[in-house]
Amino acid sequence: MSGVATWDGDDLVVRVRVHPRSSRSEILGVVDSQLRIRTTAAAADGKANKAVIRLLADYFKLAPSRIRLTHGVSHRNKRFVVSGPLVVPADLPVAMQGSNSL
């Protein structure tokens, strides 16, 4: 896969590496073919996952309800599906066609 994200129809599948319990919440950018995100939330009870969804919603400028976690619920490496993003940030490498090799 050449990008951090791939298209799957109208949806964008994004690979993310999460660092919970950080000193601040932010999207660091692309490192090692993953979007790196730090969050102050703890990994317990899905709090970090919810915080990451809120950060991704701000990043893509859409409602959090349009982002869902599809892989890696209890791991740092995750896969999120962004339903029909209208804006794709310029710093996010996106492959032109979807791939099952995520």
For 16-75, how does the pLDDT look when each residue is reduced to its tens digit (9 = 90+)?
A: 999 999 999 999 999 999 999 999 999 999 999 999 999 999 999 999 999 999 999 999
- CATH number for the domain including 44? 3.30.1200.10
Q: Can you give the pTM of this predicted structure?
A: 0.89
Give the mean model confidence (pLDDT) for residues 83-93.
90
Q: What is the distance of C-alpha 13 from the center of its chain?
A: 8
Range of the domain at 44: 1-17+36-85
Query: CA-CA distance, 7 to 96, in Å (whole number)?
Result: 7
- Residue 58 CB coordination number (10 Å): 12
Instruction: Please check the confidence at residue 1 and state whether its pLDDT lies above 80.
Output: no
Whether 77 maps to a domain, the answer reads yes
Asked whether residue 45 is domain-assigned, the answer is yes
> Is 98 part of a structural domain of the chain?
no
Q: What are the beta bridge partners of residue 13? A: 6, 81
Give a yes or no: residue 95 inside a domain: no
The structure tokens 């692309």 sit at 30
Strand partners, 67: 82
- 70 in any annotated domain: yes
Examine residue 97 and state whether it is found in any structural domain, yes or no. no
3-state secondary structure of 37: strand
User: How many domains are there within the chain?
Assistant: 1
CA distance 4 to 14: 6
